[in-house]
Amino acid sequence: AEDRPAIAVRMTFSAEGRKLRHSFHRIMMKSAAKLAYPQAQAGIDGVPDDKTGPILEGVLKPLWDAYAVLKRGRDSRQPLELELPERKILLKPDGTVDQVVVPERLDAHKLIEEFMIQANVAAAETLEGKKEPLVYRIHDAPSLAKQESLREFLHTLGLSLARGAQMRPGQFNGILERVRGADNEALVNEVVLRSQSQAEYSPKNIGHFGLNLRRYAHFTSPIRRYADLIVHRGLIAALGLGPGGLTQQEADRLEEVGALISATERRAMAAERDTVDRLIAAYLAERINDTFDARISGVAKAGLFVQLPQYGADGFIPVSSLDGDYYIYDETARSLFGERTGKGYQLADRVEVRLLEVAPMAGAMRFEMLSDPKPLPGSRRSFHKTKGRARASQSRTGPRGRRR
């Protein structure tokens, strides 16, 4: 391992997990062990290897002890706690999909995440204290319109969300806690996530709602994010750490830069989603007419978006292909329900679908619904009979799959 230049932060915390002081230093660092997350976790869990064994007592155990302290602080801070599994696509040497996996989220991941959050906070505090311009990582509370929409939706499930402009992540956590283990847990997680604002970069600080922090900046990844590089250069200038600091000319352009890197981040996220959709669509093109377990990931007047949890890709079921009833779109309940029966389909429902058509270059897939509609407690059958009405086709070509 070679020596590499870096900026390090030394932090001291109280036993309750409150940061008491911190200092930044220009250093040379060497990644001596180069541990993978599962490897570090296995060492702590009592299965050390030739790399983790020698550093278990001197490095890993003290790290986990420090994490236990930081976790106390995190628990009292109450950031937003959403369960969002991340999928990883493993490719074959020829670039096609080999398999899609959901890596287990280990304490080793959470430890590094919490250490990074605290380092990011320290960077924002130092730059603010030195009156040095910076780009904050900001995250606004949900808009009043989104709060109201969420409140109406939760009401259909018999859950209440307190009114008031001053929302706190803890209020959402309380709701998520109430549905933990329930049939509608995935649904509520999904809708709470969609009610959130998007995080962005700005020299104007409004705090970070999701993390429940007054000031926050990105500091820990300067090799892959421009925001972090700006913060590093700001720290060099503010603390007189030598050459390479942020110039006044660059500091004057931070508003423009913040808007630009927020836009490029959104573009990168969209590109990532499109890439996943195209890879999975190409992968499943061989499996036309196969049936899959799916989850409803979106509801619109035009039909249902479904996600295959195994693959993390989305497809569409047109409302015209749902037979046996007139289906009406209920925006509040995030559902399509039958005008005649009141039964229907709701966001996050688990359903069985058949793959009918794939367009790999567009990353698009069309499915047929095989699951029967279910009674919907929140559906509004007294709704105006024509509002949001979508006529279902009465005939269907091709054989009907077995229903569950």
Q: Check whether 232 has a pLDDT greater than 80.
A: yes
pLDDT digits (tens, 9 = 90+) for 107-119: 999 999 999 999 9
288-391 CATH pick, 2.60.40.1250, 2.40.50.140, 1.10.10.10, 1.10.1040.10: 2.40.50.140
pLDDT digits (tens, 9 = 90+) for 365-386: 999 999 999 998 755 554 444 3
Name the average pLDDT for the chain: 90
Q: Give me the pLDDT at residue 297, please.
A: 87
pLDDT digits (tens, 9 = 90+) for 300-309: 999 999 989 8
Residue type, 20: L
Pick from 116, 142, 69, 80: nearest CA to 216: 116
pLDDT digits (tens, 9 = 90+) for 130-152: 999 999 999 999 999 999 989 98
Q: Give me the pLDDT at residue 76, please.
A: 94
DSSP characters over 143-201: PHHHHHHHHHHHHHTT-----SS---HHHHHHHHHHTTTSTTHHHHHHHHHHTSPPPEE
Q: Check whether 400 has a pLDDT greater than 50.
A: no
Q: Check whether 180 has a pLDDT greater than 80.
A: yes
Domain residues of the chain, as ranges? Answer: 4-139+199-275, 144-194, 288-391
Pick from 269, 300, 292: nearest CA to 365: 292
Q: Give me the pLDDT at residue 92, please.
A: 94
- pLDDT over 90 percentage in the chain: 73
CA distance to 77, 148, 162, per residue, from 165 (Å): 19, 11, 10
Q: Quick one: tokens of 33?
A: 């062990």
**Helix (H) / strand (E) containing 234:** helix 226-239
Q: Give me the pLDDT at residue 401, please.
A: 37
pLDDT digits (tens, 9 = 90+) for 37-64: 999 999 999 999 999 999 999 999 999 9
Q: Check whether 295 has a pLDDT greater than 70.
A: yes
Q: Give me the pLDDT at residue 378, please.
A: 57
